[in-house]
Structure 1
């Protein structure tokens, strides 16, 4: 048993992060949290930005560090926050990503049926709380937004929370996309609480503007980069094909846990009823990549080729346009792929696929970002800002994309 639990982590973004309570160490040591070391923060983004191999573990530690700094800053401004609440909020943000599956958002809803990572996270939180003797009761209430101080939940989940502050700065650092750099120190110092509402002091308005612009740029340049979209959709197609084959081919090899979730439609209720939560929590990026290496040698031509494309980085070509793609033209392209590869039209759909990429840097209908003016009046950022771009960022932007094998040339003709 480790008696020295107040350790220090050296983080490339913030420097030394100190564990301030033994319960934090116990959470970090829990197998469900250690699993986050084996889940990439940005899925397959490293295929475009080679440095993007940081993990959910690193991000969670960074978000906890920002939470501690924010709470201490708010306390200095006279906001009533108890020592127990400071600890609970740190626990809450530390565990905010605990429900993510392999490759983070990429395979969400593709291994579990109609179940979000937030729901899985809620179940895992309860399990960890039980293992640790109920020390997370307040943290769970904060995450569920059932705790009486609502601003604590806003620090965990809102449009200006510790999650977003860390991932923008961290993802910018590891991808090398400098446009995503934000001044977290200044933003934190500008936060305040008015009538249980998290707000930004008037002099921090330009920092918020920079934050929203950086978020928009990071989405189009990193998270929704066309090659990232194509690579991640390719991974999804592999899982889809493997799911079909797993029902009839007993020789398809992977970890037993992964096979279990491929062969069965398992939702949140079944995770509890059939005691499968720990099995799902044992699956990480390593299971998927091991399976892909094995499946690249499978006798099924479609699965084998899809897996080789991932391993050898033969990412499908991507076309992006503002209008929907013509479905007849897509069907013709599928027929061409089916004939060339000598596979069925259904199988060709794994190589030719389309979708929509949407981005909204700020949602005026959600939990708003309020600017505190000098008379303590609270004004939405889009109203308080004199920057026209901030108002335009509240409008959703959608782009249609089509992916297909590079060897099939369709030219610049709109399809």
Structure 2
């Protein structure tokens, strides 16, 4: 018979946390989920992927972030208790969804997903509903509880209020990662008055709303997010490392398909190369496994794989030039031709990378659910969409910013071989934009 994880622990468990000071656990269910092997795997997956090559403090993990999202949600619930529209029966659902929202993330998640057409949200669902320790714990609460949690995380739940607590334009997830990432990176951009925001949050039938008096704290939060994206998450050095990481996976997959005999066969990745990974395969992967292969592949016979791994492991990254695709792409075919003539494969060494972000958006019918706008509740009880009240938010609302960079190996370009081709490459890369 499955052990039941209902009720409270005999004594509260506490995690010391640099961002929230303390993370409090009273529920047997939460404590049991933290102890599962699927959740413990998150200790071996960094929160910020390759950002550690740019900001040396960015070594924090998905584990610490997931605990932080749980703690913020727990504090939200304390504010909501006893208020209209809050159902205390939803407490457990909200806390568990917060804790498990990132349980499906893999090593260097976004680069990995791009190459292998993987989706961390699909893996999250598989972990929650599959043959896992997480599922065993959830099933002890009730036969449908795991499905309810999965639906909240997928944003398909009929419980829109709990969904908005975990995933919306102002949610526990964003409020944790902005502060946590800023703390570990050592920047000031991610700081905002979370305590103030929590105090003025109110539950409604469909979403969390903010008291009118808390508008300036929310403005600060939105600008904080905007700055973090452009100063940290899209930092060009971090993106360079991501480009090389993606190309390593791409090259290894290509070699496997070509029947190349690896000196260090990547057994953990075979099923991903074949496009048929199982949940067991996925859960065996973490960043230490991936970095082990990268370390060993520096001694492979294939020059491209060897070089890319050397660059990633030893931080010999690509440089970049800003480009406008509408203007520069006319030179693209010629640049690729020149790279090939000079002995470097442009598929791996000439890479366009684009970054874009929409800092805040109002409601657009038919768009993704996550774009449900932030509403302020006026003293008379009526709701008003944030950008209609805030000039600051209105000025950035709905405005998507995108930039494009062209990455290349500057050390190769500076070397003396193939001077004629490299001179033309330099002229094309550094021409007046």
3-state DSSP of counterpart to 1:178? coil
3-state DSSP of counterpart to 1:71? helix
Q: Distance in 2 between matches of 1:106 and 1:43?
A: 9
Q: Compute the displacement of 1:380 (Å).
A: 1.2
Contact 2:84/2:204 (CA < 8 Å) preserved in 1? no
Report what 1:197 is aligned to. Answer: 207
Q: Compute the displacement of 1:133 (Å).
A: 5.5
Report what 1:357 is aligned to. Answer: 355
Q: Distance in 2 between matches of 1:310 and 1:230?
A: 10
Report what 1:149 is aligned to. Answer: 159
Q: Distance in 1 between matches of 2:327 and 2:373?
A: 35
Pick from 274, 280, 283: which aligns with 2:282? Answer: 280
Report what 2:35 is aligned to. Answer: 29
Kindly report which structure 2 residues correspond to 1:289-300, keeping only aligned pairs within 5 A, or say none. Answer: 289-300=291-302
Kindly report which structure 2 residues correspond to 1:374-389, keeping only aligned pairs within 5 A, or say none. Answer: 374-387=379-392
3-state DSSP of counterpart to 1:283? coil
Kindly report which structure 2 residues correspond to 1:9-408, keeping only aligned pairs within 5 A, or say none. Answer: 9-82=15-88, 84-111=89-116, 113=117, 115-127=118-130, 128=132, 129-132=134-137, 134=139, 135=141, 136-137=145-146, 138-145=148-155, 147-247=157-257, 248-262=259-273, 264-266=274-276, 276-324=278-326, 326-340=328-342, 342-343=343-344, 347-364=345-362, 365=364, 366-387=371-392, 390-407=394-411, 408=413
Q: Compute the displacement of 1:131 (Å).
A: 2.2
Q: Compute the displacement of 1:406 (Å).
A: 1.2
Q: Compute the displacement of 1:91 (Å).
A: 0.6
1:356-414, CA deviations, whole angstroms, 9 ceiling, x for partnerless residues? 21111112232111111122221111111132x54324211111110001132626314
3-state DSSP of counterpart to 2:23? strand
Q: Distance in 1 between matches of 2:289 and 2:161?
A: 38
Contact 1:258/1:287 (CA < 8 Å) preserved in 2? no
Task: Report the more deviating stretch, 351-360 or 145-154.
Answer: 145-154
3-state DSSP of counterpart to 1:9? strand
Label 1:130 to 1:60 Cα distance change in 2 as closer, same or farther (>3 A).
closer
3-state DSSP of counterpart to 1:292? helix
Label 1:252 to 1:92 Cα distance change in 2 as closer, same or farther (>3 A).
farther
Q: Compute the displacement of 1:310 (Å).
A: 0.6
3-state DSSP of counterpart to 2:49? coil
Question: Under a length normalisation based on structure 1, what TM-score does the superposition of the two structures give?
Answer: 0.89
Q: Distance in 2 between matches of 1:234 and 1:325?
A: 25
Contact 1:254/1:287 (CA < 8 Å) preserved in 2? no
1:277-303, CA deviations, whole angstroms, 9 ceiling, x for partnerless residues? 121111111111111111111111111
Contact 2:121/2:154 (CA < 8 Å) preserved in 1? no
Question: Under a length normalisation based on structure 2, what TM-score does the superposition of the two structures give?
Answer: 0.86
Q: CA RMSD in A?
A: 2.3
Q: Distance in 1 between matches of 2:250 and 2:99?
A: 32
3-state DSSP of counterpart to 2:59? coil
Q: Compute the displacement of 1:148 (Å).
A: 4.6
Task: Report the more deviating stretch, 375-384 or 199-208.
Answer: 375-384
